[in-house]
Amino acid sequence: MMTKKMEQAINDQMQKEFYSSYLYLSMSAYCYENNLKGFGHWMKLQSQEETSHGMKFYEYMIARGNRVLLEPIEQPPHAFKSLTEVIQKSLEHEKKVTALLHRLYELTMKEKDYASQGILQWYINEQVEEEATVNEILQKLKLISDKSSAILYLDKEMGKRAP
Ligand code: FEO
């Protein structure tokens, strides 16, 4: 069993993962609305991945004999100016999540919660991959600027993402 402080902090982080899922789902809807089916598909799968991140904490809390307390999930933004803004916001969001995970890791050191360090290391590694992927998409979008044929090509590529 983990300390109450750790329990609260992991419940908070679980909420962030479920919020991430909500955010990507909102971004997915924006992409579909703007006829970017490939991006819509990619974002929808990203949303599912974030749900699985939330569920990984959920299972972990139960395995440790701690209390899962689901917190309210606020409404995500739904009005975006452009596809580039969507991807920029996604990168900003991932950076925030990374910072929160680092803070949580620091707490495990204070609380001497070695088991939680193991699972958090998984999340931290996952963040490296997620930030790199989103950054790569952003850089491609910047390169192609608003050339619609290149955006359509990229959209097709995004649509190839497998679950
Ligand atoms: Fe689960 Fe993209 O952070």
Atom of ligand 1 nearest to the CA of 17: 1
C-alpha to C-alpha distance for 91 and 71, rounded to whole angstroms: 24
> For the chain, which ranges sit under pLDDT 50?
none
pLDDT of residue 146: 75
**Quick check: is 58 in a domain?**
yes
> What are the contacts of 92-101 at 24+ separation with CB within 8 A?
93/20, 93/23, 94/127, 94/130, 94/131, 94/134, 95/131, 97/16, 97/17, 97/20, 97/127, 98/124, 98/127, 98/131, 100/13, 100/16, 101/13, 101/127
pLDDT of residue 147: 84
> What is the enclosing helix (H) or strand (E) of 60?
helix 37-63
C-alpha to C-alpha distance for 146 and 143, rounded to whole angstroms: 9
pLDDT of residue 143: 92
**Quick check: is 163 in a domain?**
no
Domain of 55: which CATH number?
A: 1.20.1260.10
pLDDT of residue 160: 96
Q: Which tens digit of pLDDT belongs to each residue from 116-131?
A: 999 999 999 999 999 9
Q: Can you give the residue range of the structural domain that contains 19?
A: 4-158
pLDDT of residue 145: 83
**Quick check: is 78 in a domain?**
yes
pLDDT of residue 128: 98
Pocket of ligand 1 (CB under 6 A): 17, 20, 50, 53, 94, 97, 130
